Amino acid sequence: MFASDKMKGASFMYFDWTILLMLPGLLLGLWAQARVNSAYAKYSQVGTRSGVSAETAVSQLLRQNGAGDVAIQATSGQLTDHYDPTSNTLRLSQGVYGSSSIAALGIAAHEAGHALQKAQNYPFLALRSLMVPVVNFGSKLSWPIFLAGILFSFEPLMYVGIIAFALVVLFSLVTLPVEFDASRRAVAMLNAGGFLTQEEETGVRKVLSAAALTYVASFVSALLQLLRLVAILNRRRR
């Protein structure tokens, strides 16, 4: 009985409370993803009155805005849509490419917004692109380096791990204006091109707002992870 009580006490003493810092980010991420799934499920079933497919619409929008050299390709998967600035290629998922739904046009126009950002040298997109190699290093090695510092009781390594992960947080922060601006451009282009009614614009905004929330959740999660690393370092220094 006493041994059991001691074990319980030891478990309580060594409970890593810093993991609780991750809970708000986790909950926000789950809520954001649920909103994306809900908005996409709803508006992917609602067609636009124009009846124009996402691929046709985005091709016209890019030409009208001086980015007609962007290649447009179909890609596998759901919600795998993205713009690749290195190859100047816009890839639309199977459920978006040939669809004329409100969700499809909103998503495709958002990616076209990224293509216009590159064509117009949008500074935050350029900064994010420059950060990618460094951030890849930080996201993969920050924790191993930090844990190595703990294992060998070598505080400088812990600092290196924290700095590496701080770059990941900075990348997430820089991503926010990039995504918000792309969504703003998407709505403006679709309206200017006459692809949406006022009611359909509301649907597009809901889809894009839900998607934007996932980037906010990613930033919050990364920031809380950074705070956790700092908390662990401070706890070991006492």
DSSP assignment string, 147-166: HHHHHTT-HHHHHHHHHHHH
Q: Cα separation of 102 and 22, whole Å? A: 35
* Helix, strand, or coil (residue 130): helix
Q: Up-side HSE of residue 130: CA atoms within 13 Å toward CB?
A: 9
Q: The tokens of 213 are what?
A: 């929330």
Q: Up-side HSE of residue 206: CA atoms within 13 Å toward CB?
A: 17
First to last CA, the chain: 33
Helix 155-192 vs helix 198-237: angle between axes, to the nearest 10 degrees? 170
Q: Cα separation of 163 and 165, whole Å? A: 5
Under 8 Å between Cβ of 212 and 179? yes
* Helix, strand, or coil (residue 51): coil
Closest CA to 200 of 116, 113, 100: 100
* H-helix segments, 120-197: 123-151, 155-192
Catalytic residues: 111
